[in-house]
Structure 1
């Protein structure tokens, strides 16, 4: 969605790139503080997390006021 590299996500979240790489390939389970930091970085960039409401959880990009 954002077309971010692992390096960009690491910089934005404060989570190390090797940790992000391990999460992506399923080599380790993320710690809650790392997940929170990643989520905060993504939300700051405009990603909205959608709760499961019968149709499944998901994500979307936030609509900007000028794009409605």
Structure 2
């Protein structure tokens, strides 16, 4: 999952950055930095992805295109 996919998933799931912080155990400031383009640890990236996947997001990357699907 990259920063753009994180933003797309949060938007599609209607989850705020602070809610994602609570769900993932990653600090809100770290999420904000990540979504703004800064690097974060692989451990934190995995925690974010796992929390979003548990909320229903599905991440994929094919032919140079990143996508996220969420339940209706």
* TM-score above 0.5, yes or no: yes
Determine which structure has the larger helix proportion and give its number.
2
Bigger radius of gyration among the two: 1
Does residue 60 (structure 1) correspond to residue 62 (structure 2)? The answer is: no
User: Contact (CA 8 Å) 1:46, 1:61: kept in 2 or not?
Assistant: yes
Relative to structure 1, the CA distance from residue 51 to residue 24 in structure 2 (aligned partners, 3 Å threshold; closer, same or farther) is: closer
Query: What is the TM-score with the length of structure 2 in the denominator?
Result: 0.74
Runs of 4+ in structure 1 deviating by more than 2 angstroms, as ranges, are none
CA RMSD of aligned residues (A): 1.7
User: Contact (CA 8 Å) 1:13, 1:37: kept in 2 or not?
Assistant: yes
Look up the SS of the partner of 1:50 in the other structure: strand
Query: What is the TM-score with the length of structure 1 in the denominator?
Result: 0.77
Structure with more contact order per residue of length (Cα contacts < 8 Å, sep ≥ 6): 2
